[in-house]
Amino acid sequence: MEYRNCWETYSPKQRKELEGLCRSYMDFLNRGKTERECTDRIVSLAEQAGFRELEALGQESLKPGDKVYSVCMNKSVVLYRIGKKPLTEGMNILGAHIDSPRLDVKQNPLYESDGFAYLDTHYYGGIKKYQWVALPLAIHGVVVKTDGTVTEVNVGEDPDDPVFFVSDLLVHLAAEQMKKDAAKVIEGEALDIIIGNKPLIVSQDKKDKKDKKEQAPKEKVKAGILQILKDTCGILEEDFVSAELEVVPAGPAREAGLDKSMILAYGQDDRVCAYTSLQALLDIEDPEKTSCCILVDKEEIGSVGATGMQSRFFENSLAEVLNRLGEYSELNLRRCLARSCMLSSDVSAGYDPSYAACFERKNAAFLGKGMVFNKYTGSRGKRGSNDANAEYMAYVRRVMEKGDVYFQTAELGRVDAGGGGTIAYILALYGMNVIDSGVAVLNMHAPWEAVSKADVYETYRGYMAFLRGEGL
């Protein structure tokens, strides 16, 4: 079975729509390099579209046509567009994650070694560690003081900002390093970022004072960094303990290729599906069934924690919605969940001709050939997979064909070549129909990932068609 390249099918109007959507998507990427920043941007876009925060409604009831959202710890969001049919008939759900692989700054991170100041890090999610050396990095996050004061950090994105980096060994001295396996070339504890090299300058009058030990610290470069942090942000060394600082590639999303057919950016797994899911929910009008969009944290480390998909956040917010509609009961909650249909919106491995041996070409996702459906993911005999049933796969085909959406089906590489998972199996625990769907990505989990603009557009169109569906 061969799939047609989407670019060959578009009218001038569609090409204009495609470019507009992708410009907005690139802006979303630039504004949201962490899950907190993504949440802020999602809430802003939702409120511009008329959504209201569920917790701020007081005793107000909900009715068909209402649009509400709920936020969990500034890292996850669920949005509802109330449909005409009772919630007990189920919802159409889009679910994606907004966290991405990165380096996290440790709680006691700052140290000096032979004239350099470093921040110690612990990598987050699945990465090839050697890809994170010798490239410009930015620091994003928050520092929270004991009095509750929150200082937002974003250094390295503005052209006038300094950037940071992890050093690598020069090739002239790398004979032994080059003999190591790729997994060992750069060790996890070696992914410490260099943040300074200039010692604290102590003025002459202070040097002349008796207490020279206090005025001239032993670790002068570290002292200089601490002085900058104190002067610019009011941050002390002990404040790192209650900080969440994420180290990400510095720089904006860029169009890629002379034909500008692709987008190269950090964090497209899974923000490309998060954005298209969100935009579809914002754009859908008067749905018959309630439309829901879940955008969660922690997928890259197993969907754990209070802001991951395994938490009760989504279920609790749905109970609140049912209650405000006058429909709540434990039975109605269970019926709603079991009768819902979901697209687990996550990326798929794009076929790369340079590494063709890792793919089974007939069942691979190609850039430019539309939205991707993965009936199953997992590894080693589909372990950890949701594996959607044939009836639901047929329903999804019918919805996509009705919406004239270009789509393809794929596996995550050759059998036994590797594998991976998504949030699909977690929602399937409720008994609802779920299938993985999204965008094909090159360089997945690398600091810079690539997608086709056409696939972004088709995925958005596919999510719109799904939200219009009547369900099984």
The DSSP output letter for 382 is: T
Whole-number Cα distances in Å, 206 to 203, 211, 213, 228, 236: 5, 9, 11, 19, 22
Of 25-39, 198-212, 261-275, the range with the lowest mean pLDDT is 198-212
- Asked if pLDDT for residue 208 goes beyond 90, the answer is no
Nearest to 114 by CA among 223, 220, 229, 215: 220
pLDDT on residue 27: 98
pLDDT on residue 37: 98
Query: Quick one: pLDDT band at residue 206, thresholds 50, 70, 90?
Result: low
Residues of the chain with CATH 2.30.250.10: 102-249
pLDDT on residue 215: 64
pLDDT tens for each residue of 415-448: 877 777 788 899 999 999 999 999 999 999 999 9
- Asked if pLDDT for residue 200 goes beyond 60, the answer is yes
pLDDT on residue 152: 95
Residues of the chain with CATH 3.40.630.10: 6-100+266-468
Cα 129 off chain centre by:
19
Residue % of the chain over a pLDDT of 90: 87
pLDDT on residue 210: 54
Is residue 458 within 8 A of residue 403, CB to CB? The reply is: no
Mean pLDDT value of segment 188-209: 83
pLDDT on residue 413: 80
pLDDT on residue 207: 55
- Asked if pLDDT for residue 388 goes beyond 90, the answer is no
pLDDT tens for each residue of 85-132: 999 999 999 999 999 999 999 999 999 999 999 999 999 999 999 999
- Asked if pLDDT for residue 209 goes beyond 90, the answer is no
pLDDT tens for each residue of 54-86: 999 988 999 999 999 999 999 999 999 999 999
Share the mean pLDDT of the chain.
Answer: 93
Element (H, E) at 142: strand 137-144
- In CATH, 6-100+266-468 is 3.30.1490.120: no
203 vs 163, higher pLDDT: 163
- In CATH, 102-249 is 3.40.50.11900: no
- Asked if pLDDT for residue 203 goes beyond 90, the answer is no
392 vs 381, higher pLDDT: 392
Q: How far apart are CA 107 and CA 36, in angstroms?
A: 18
Mean pLDDT value of segment 311-338: 96
Of 49-63, 160-174, 190-204, 280-294, the range with the lowest mean pLDDT is 190-204
List b or e across 60-97, with b for residues whose CB sees 16 or more CB atoms inside 10 angstroms. eebeeebbbbbbbebbbbbbbbbbebbbbbbbbbbbbb
pLDDT on residue 60: 94
Query: Quick one: pLDDT band at residue 312, thresholds 50, 70, 90?
Result: very high
Mean pLDDT value of segment 200-211: 64
Mean pLDDT value of segment 199-227: 75
* Predicted model pTM: 0.94
- Asked if pLDDT for residue 2 goes beyond 80, the answer is no
pLDDT on residue 281: 98
pLDDT on residue 214: 57
Beta bridge partners of 263: 255, 451
pLDDT on residue 439: 97
pLDDT on residue 376: 83
Whole-number Cα distances in Å, 175 to 134, 165, 181, 190, 403: 18, 22, 13, 18, 57
Q: How far apart are CA 162 and CA 195, in angstroms?
A: 9
pLDDT on residue 472: 75
pLDDT on residue 292: 98
pLDDT on residue 205: 59
Mean pLDDT value of segment 370-385: 84
Q: How far apart are CA 125 and CA 396, in angstroms?
A: 31
Query: Quick one: pLDDT band at residue 414, thresholds 50, 70, 90?
Result: confident
